[in-house]
Amino acid sequence: MSTQAKSKTGTITGLDIMAYYTQEPQKSIEFYRDVLGLQPTEVDDQGRGAEFTLADGTTFGVWKPDREDGDFASGAIVMFAVPDIHAAVEEFNLRGAALTESFETPVCHMAMGKDPDGNQFIIHQRKTK
């Protein structure tokens, strides 16, 4: 069995980030830093959250959702890495994914979607530093 999900125009290359949504980002950052000993590797300059890159290279994050309407407002999220956000959104939507339009943040490009059970996920392309 292949370890990569391939499409005509893109490939999901791995998990970029596993994250919990939080209503109190600073409290969550302090917990993971001070109690569990994780050091933030990215901290949002607007106070919305942080990412912690672990020794094995995986990234865990805590983020306050931008939306206040309840959609994507709690729980966990998986961010699938893709090399080309625009090609991936187009391809996956043609195959029935119903992703949002992609949008840009200071560190990435992303589009959001839900699986048939309502689990939220993000197609994610990091910006090069």
Q: Is the pTM of this model over 0.75?
A: no
For residue 8, give every residue at least 6 positions away whose Cβ sits within 8 Å of its Cβ, in sequence order, or none: 91
Per-residue pLDDT reduced to its tens digit, 70-125? 555 567 888 999 999 999 999 999 988 989 999 999 889 999 998 877 878 899 99
Band of pLDDT at residue 1, cut at 50, 70 and 90: very low
Residue 72 burial by Cβ neighbours in a 10 Å radius (0-12, 13-18, 19+): middle
pLDDT at 36: 84
**Residue 2 clears pLDDT 50, i.e. is over it:** no
Per-residue pLDDT reduced to its tens digit, 43-77? 999 999 999 998 888 899 999 887 655 555 567 88
C-alpha 71/C-alpha 82 separation (Å) is: 24
| DSSP strand pairing (49-53 vs 59-63) | antiparallel
Report, at the CATH architecture level, how domain 14-126 is classified: Roll (3.10)
